Amino acid sequence: MEKIAGRIFLALMAVALGALLFVVAYAATDWYRTGSHFLFDSINADPRPVFGYAWTDLKAGRFAKLQYAGAAALFGFVLPLAVAFFMRPPKRNDAKFMSMADVRRAGLLKPRGIFIGRAGGRLANVFAPHRDRRTGKLRLTRPKVRGGKKLWIDGDDVGGFVIGPPRSGKGAALIIPN
């Protein structure tokens, strides 16, 4: 959705820049040919009449001013599109949680190597009386992940780290076979 909105915004900006450069180039050409700054004054108030004058020139077959304005409009329209086409995606500051499509694309669903966790599924409260370590209160339910897909990572140089609060079973739960 974000990509589509970005492309729509880019297309609107290309049209706006093309229209702006068309109006300015048409007024500049008119000023150069006639010496009148009437169109520049009308741009400050309202740029829409300039399109009317350009349309009148087009219907009358006077293409001298229109060719320069058209070239400027084409340049203004193509420039943002070319910049967007040749722009590289950012290499950092774009961290996000993986979607299932990203997980599939990364090849983490193939059951080989080291099990690293689950993706998808839902968090469900299951009946399991226990004492909450943080508050010391007795709880009757415990959240547990149900469903989802197991994620595996395979390779010669697989490394990782485990993060968790103290006494949460980080060392007991992590088994590394030889």
Q: 135 and 82, same structural domain?
A: no
Burial (Cβ within 10 Å: 0-12, 13-18, ≥19) of residue 26: buried
Do the Cβ atoms of 105 and 115 come closer than 8 Å? no
Phi, psi of 118 (to 5 degrees): -125, 155
What's the number of domains the chain is made of?
2
Q: 116 and 61, same structural domain?
A: no
Q: 11 and 79, same structural domain?
A: yes
pTM score, whole prediction: 0.47
d(CA 32, CA 70): 16
Phi, psi of 131 (to 5 degrees): -100, 125
141-177 per-position pLDDT tens digit: 888 878 888 888 887 667 777 788 888 777 776 665 5
Burial (Cβ within 10 Å: 0-12, 13-18, ≥19) of residue 40: middle
Q: 23 and 47, same structural domain?
A: yes
Indicate the residue among 86, 109, 125 that finishes a domain.
Answer: 86
66-75 per-position pLDDT tens digit: 888 888 888 8
Is 91 a member of any domain?
no
Query: From residue 80, how far is each of 72, 76, 129, 149 by CA, in Å?
Result: 13, 7, 61, 42
- Domain with 82, as residue range(s), is 2-86
pLDDT by residue, tens only, the chain of 178 residues: 677 888 888 888 888 888 888 888 888 888 888 888 887 778 778 888 888 888 888 888 888 888 888 888 888 888 888 887 787 776 776 677 888 898 888 888 888 888 888 888 888 888 888 888 889 899 898 888 788 888 888 876 677 777 888 887 777 766 655 4
